[in-house]
Amino acid sequence: MTQPLMLLIAFACNGPANEDSGGEPHTDSEAGLEDSGEVGGDCNDLDSGVYPGATEICDGQQNDCDLDFWDESGMAEWADKGGERVDVSDVWVAGGEAFDVTLDTEGSLFLCEGTYSAHIEITADVDIRGYGAVLSGGNDGVVVTARTAGTSVWLTGLELRDGFGLIEPDMASTGGYTAGGGVYCQGATIQIDGTIFQDNDAIGYGAGLFAEDCVVELNDVTFDGNAVSAGRGGAMTLDGSVTTVQSALFSSSSSRYDGNHVYLYGDGALTIEDAAFDSGDTRTIYTRSSDLNEVVLRDVLVDASAGVVKLYDGTLELDGVESIGGTGPFGCSECTSMVVTDSTFAGCTRSCIEVEEAGSFELSGSTFEDNASTLHSGPVYVYDTPTTITDTVFTTTSGEGSALYLESLEDKATIDSCAFSDNTAEMGAIHVNTGEVEVIDSDFMGNTLDMGTDAGDYTWGEGASFTCTAEGACD
């Protein structure tokens, strides 16, 4: 339904090409003016809503071509699904007192520069567009609520701030705690573009955004300073929702438990692309045990100081991830699969990646550099998981473990076309506790053991073995 609604809005704002509202086609030549962009001229001949004498509307541009004066502050307009605009500035008062409002008719709300204190309940297909507009919950309610099943909501160009989560005692997922300070979604489809979630709070879950059984699309968004005091998901909690995030910044989120920025609950899927996460006091992304989720992180920069992802069940895919630091890893426990490609990991102080009893683990085209290992661990730690590692570099690993630590393997692990160099970890470049490892066409250079021997390539426990194929494959 997005495209038809957007077309209606565009038609309402602009009308047919080069035709001014309510009259005959308008051209510069008919007005005796040159299209120079100067005062008195038609300053945008491509937009029929822009010409000398046009009525100013809330659209983020100057309509009347008067370059000496332009101020849309405080303008608010409502357009029905037919595109006809009505001035609603007397209801939506910038700087006014907070009020509760229900948008129950299909249409569009346009808000120009100003702070509007409101708790908005949306029960129809509604598009809210902001041009320097701030929507504030006043710290006593959710800013935007959309919980009518089957409806579609669009939020564009807004700052959603100072919301406080909604109490839903009958929902198993919130357990009676408040959820969703900035946006609360239940059963709807919601698209949010060019929007900032700022300083929203909740007791339980999803201070910035809470979504249960929703389809969520976020583009060019910022989550900053959103806080959960007693639960998880400072920026977002996604309960059984399918969520796509494109171009995002997650900053200064906080939660009491793991899921500092994002908490996944219930069956669902999350794809985040072109994003950056700062660190917090708890793990960045967390999923509830036994719930099936699909998580994809693509071209993501992570400050991993407090750990990143812990996934139970489901699938975890990392592609083009850059991870810096971290006491906790990208973790996959009893999940279906974990796939890592073209990623870099540096400054880990325990494990960068930790895979336990998963269906499979594939690692390729990645680099692990300047990481520290702890006893019986390493930058990559794998426990009882079928493993294939190709075209990957492990270098300058220190500490009590090894660069690659493999434990209790029931299936043969394959290491193909990899490079291990200058690793000084006490258990070697590779350690296998129990199981078989096949090493194919891989290079080992300058690896030494802190224990005082120069045999720094492999160490292994009882019941473990290495097989090297091709002459010189393990030199």
| Distance (Å, whole) CA 39 – CA 47 | 16
| pLDDT above 80: residue 377 | yes
Segment 408-435 shows an average pLDDT of: 93
User: Which residues are registered as beta bridge partners of 100?
Assistant: 119
pLDDT tier at 450, thresholds 50, 70, 90: low
Show Cβ contacts of residue 329 under 8 Å, excluding neighbours closer than 6 positions.
307, 308, 348, 350, 351, 352, 353, 354, 381
Q: What is the pTM of this model?
A: 0.86
Task: Tell me the pairing of strands 107-122 and 76-80.
Answer: antiparallel
Question: Which is more confident, 49 or 295?
Answer: 295
Check residue 175 and give its pLDDT.
Answer: 62
Three-class DSSP category at 4: helix
Show Cβ contacts of residue 255 under 8 Å, excluding neighbours closer than 6 positions.
227, 228, 231, 232, 233, 234, 263, 280, 282
- Could you report the per-residue pLDDT of 199-240, keeping only the tens digit for each? 999 999 999 999 999 999 999 999 999 999 999 999 999 999
- Could you report the per-residue pLDDT of 320-348, keeping only the tens digit for each? 999 988 776 798 999 999 999 999 999 99
Check residue 375 and give its pLDDT.
Answer: 85
- Could you report the per-residue pLDDT of 127-177, keeping only the tens digit for each? 999 999 999 999 999 999 999 999 999 999 999 999 999 876 555 555 667
Three-class DSSP category at 238: strand
b or e along 187-206 (b: 16 or more beta carbons within 10 Å of the residue's beta carbon)? bbbbbbbebbbbbbbbbbbb
Check residue 60 and give its pLDDT.
Answer: 77
- Could you report the per-residue pLDDT of 169-194, keeping only the tens digit for each? 555 555 667 899 999 999 999 999 99
Task: Tell me the pairing of strands 387-390 and 126-136.
Answer: unpaired
Check residue 174 and give its pLDDT.
Answer: 57
- H or E element at residue 5: helix 2-14
Check residue 326 and give its pLDDT.
Answer: 75
Question: Which is more confident, 70 or 359?
Answer: 359
Check residue 193 and give its pLDDT.
Answer: 98
- Contact indicator for 249, 276 with CB cutoff of 8 Å: yes
| Distance (Å, whole) CA 187 – CA 300 | 28
Segment 405-419 shows an average pLDDT of: 94
Percent of the chain with pLDDT over 70: 83
Question: Which is more confident, 403 or 56?
Answer: 403
| pLDDT above 60: residue 20 | no
| pLDDT above 60: residue 250 | yes
Q: Which amino acid, 375? A: L
Q: Which amino acid, 406? A: L
Check residue 62 and give its pLDDT.
Answer: 74
- Helices (H), ranges, 167-236: none
Backbone angles phi, psi at 163, to 5 degrees: -85, 160
| Distance (Å, whole) CA 203 – CA 167 | 9
Mean residue pLDDT across the chain? 84
Check residue 122 and give its pLDDT.
Answer: 98
| pLDDT above 80: residue 289 | no
| pLDDT above 50: residue 433 | yes
Three-class DSSP category at 134: strand
Check residue 282 and give its pLDDT.
Answer: 75
Question: Which is more confident, 371 or 455?
Answer: 371
- Contact indicator for 203, 175 with CB cutoff of 8 Å: no
